[in-house]
Amino acid sequence: MRLFQKLSELEKKGAPIRVGLVGAGQMGKYMVAVMKQMQGIQLVAVADKVLDHAKSALQASGYTGVEINSSQDASMDRLQAGEVYITPAAALIPKLDFVDVVIEATGVPEVGAQVSFMSILARKHVVMLSYETVVTVGHILSHLAKAAGVVFTGAAGDEPAAILELYDFARAMGFEVVAAGKGKNNPLDRSATPDSVAEDAAEVGTSARMHCSFVDGSKTMVEMAAVANATGLVPDVRGMHGPVTEVKNLPKVFSLVSQGGVLQQKGVVDYARGEIAPGVFVIITTDNPLIREDLWFERMGDGPNYLLFRPYHLCDMETPLSAVLAQVYGEPTLIPLGQPVAEVFTVAKRDLKAGEVLDGFGGYTMYGEIDRASVVREQRLLPGGLAKGCQLLVDVPKGCPITYDMVSLPRDSFVVHLRAMQDQLVAESFFKSDC
């Protein structure tokens, strides 16, 4: 049954999918709006540490927020039309008995790890819009969810899931994937800070830290690492190539060096700058002369590489569809497969001094860079998702990768402890390849 038909059926039965949302920033606000107009799905609770964010997100879509401080304060009987429970405590959402699916949209690995773990223990599906969490501890969370009989998944609509749709489409028809990627929709400035991007952030209505993580490239690295770990594709070089180009030139640019392109090998993740965003792409090829002839007939070009291009991704608006897939069909939109093949590690954004504390993605001290997971493990590079709260033991020059040996890890960090368990399982080859 098609999604719309299934949602219509749930609406008629009065049995909607009940969603609890963690994070009511820019993405959360628009997610609230789209759930308001959907059939068969009901937003029942929103958590944000700044309670006014939750209130304003709900008010913008015609809801009334009812504040609660514990799970005992909440019941379905108290909810009336147009009312949604709100709380500053993210940990409260998984404790609500009537929540079917938890959507996490904070972009903070520590929060994402805690909320996901608690939701899985409570036998609730988890939809992660925070791909920072997925690339940091997604392997262990995915396996814990499977053992618990629930779904842990990356969210539909963000670039990783949109890319995966094209990838699955191509692989299902037997095409070889040369490259998969996205367009970067803002200038690349590795030294960007929340202060330097504050004006632009205010103009587009997002937080300065979140906008900074886009501008300094960390977000792109995270998104493409998520694609890599869901497909087995790898970064061709550290940081990827990120050429400036146009849509029509993508098949040529993302071809082998011997063919006039930038790639040293096929089967990679990358990104492009220029008039590509908000689109995503997959470059495919085939040795079959009949298929090449048909592709030419279908106006896909002369080859040997061909472009599959989706010119949009409706990030927050598509995310609730992952909640539907999880609850109704028990299917994830995107999960890590097998052993990690890519990681995002920590790089000094400026000259740093011993004793300074790293402030995580989108901050003043570090940015994320992608490389192969085997290289990151061998060189003991610090995963970007663990950086926040780490204290430097040595001076670190601008542009230098930061290793585990250069920092003191925060002892009370849940994501640090969960990552340690994941690393042990990786070392024991626990995560078998499903690619």
Q: Does the structural domain 342-427 have CATH classification 3.90.1210.10?
A: yes
Residue whose structure tokens are 């990356």: 154
Q: Where in the sequence of the chain do the CATH 3.40.50.720 domains occur?
A: 3-156
Q: Which two tokens stand for residue 29?
A: 């606000």
pLDDT of residue 151: 98
pLDDT of residue 82: 76
Assigned fold of 3-156: Rossmann fold (3.40.50)
Strand partners of residue 347: 367, 401
Q: pLDDT tens string for the chain (435 positions)?
A: 688 999 999 999 999 999 999 999 888 899 999 999 999 999 999 999 999 999 999 999 999 999 998 888 888 877 776 789 999 999 999 999 999 999 999 999 999 999 999 999 999 999 999 999 999 999 999 999 999 999 999 999 899 999 999 999 999 999 999 999 999 988 899 999 999 999 998 988 888 999 999 999 999 999 999 999 999 999 999 999 999 999 999 999 999 999 999 999 999 999 999 989 999 999 999 999 999 999 999 999 999 999 999 999 998 899 999 999 999 999 999 999 999 999 999 999 999 999 999 999 999 999 999 999 999 999 999 999 999 999 999 999 999 999 999 999 999 999 999 999 999 999 999 987 654
Pairing of strands 342-348, 366-372: antiparallel
Closest among 304, 268, 279 to 179, alpha carbons compared: 268
The neighbour count for residue 410, using CB atoms within 10 Å, is 18
pTM comes to 0.95
Q: Where in the sequence of the chain do the CATH 3.90.1210.10 domains occur?
A: 342-427
The number of angstroms, rounded, from the C-alpha of 30 to the middle of its chain's C-alpha atoms is: 17
Closest among 95, 126, 108, 118 to 50, alpha carbons compared: 108
Strand partners of residue 271: 182
